[in-house]
A = this chain, B = another copy of it.
Amino acid sequence: MKLLFRFYNYYLSQDKELVKKLRPVIGFIPVRTSTFKLAFSHKSGSNDKEYAIQNNERLEYLGDAILGTIVAEYLFKKYPNANEGFLTKMRSKIVQRKALNKIGDKMELDILLNHQNHTRLSHSMLGNAVEALVGAIYLELGYEKTKQFVIRKIIRNYLDVHQLEKVDDNYKSQLLEWCQKNGQSINYKLLARYKYEKRDRFKIAVMIDGNKIATADDFNKKSAEQTASEKAMYQLGILTTE
């Protein structure tokens, strides 16, 4: 029965052009083409709330969760001796907006987005489409097969996980470098030290030219400084989510 649907979808349905473009990306012919159509339908500029139901935002919401969990599990098993902090950091490197935009680009989802939309593509639409596509595949095939898809077609194809381990996340040194280049002074100020679940906790502020740019809390000063530096880099536009 499913085979029949697939035959129809590929050769006869009004969505056959989309299905032909989709097949090399996902590796199979979908039974429910409408879900995949939705995955690549971007919300227009319209603020009409009802319209939101018929675009890809619901699928993005679902796909974001599924993708995050698959990556979480993949890392959990790949690094049996790593602690939670390392795993969380690695996961965010993989599923952060910027990384997803790049993956969407490499998967050539722009072809599918252009097929479904008339508006000009933005980078973030590519990342959103990755999430929506994962959501659509989940609804079509369930968790285990979606996991296979994500690991084989996304992680192994487009990500160098070992390289990601080395990605510079020393935000403190990056921020220092930026300050030196721009002739601005930088220092870190301990705002508070308190107890949380019986452990010491530190609240640190990054001060640039005497202005408090960002603050962060952590169990040790070094981590709080790193997080505060990262926040400051977003604040100053040195890092962006695009």
Residues of A within 8 A of B (CB): 45, 47, 49, 52-53, 57-58, 60-62, 65-66, 68-69, 72-73, 76, 81-85, 87-88, 122, 124, 138, 142-144, 197-199, 219
Query: Closest 9 interchain pairs by CB?
Result: A65-B72, A57-B84, A143-B143, A52-B83, A65-B69, A69-B69, A61-B84, A62-B76, A61-B87
**Contact between A61 and B49, CB atoms less than 8 A apart:** no
Give A49 to B85 CA distance when docked, in angstroms. 10
A72-B62 in contact given A83-B52, A143-B144 (Cβ < 8 Å)? yes
**Contact between A53 and B73, CB atoms less than 8 A apart:** no
B residues within 8 A CB of A53?
A: 81-83
The residue among A45, A69, A82, A198 with the most chain B CB atoms within 10 A of its own CB is A69
Give A61 to B87 CA distance when docked, in angstroms. 8
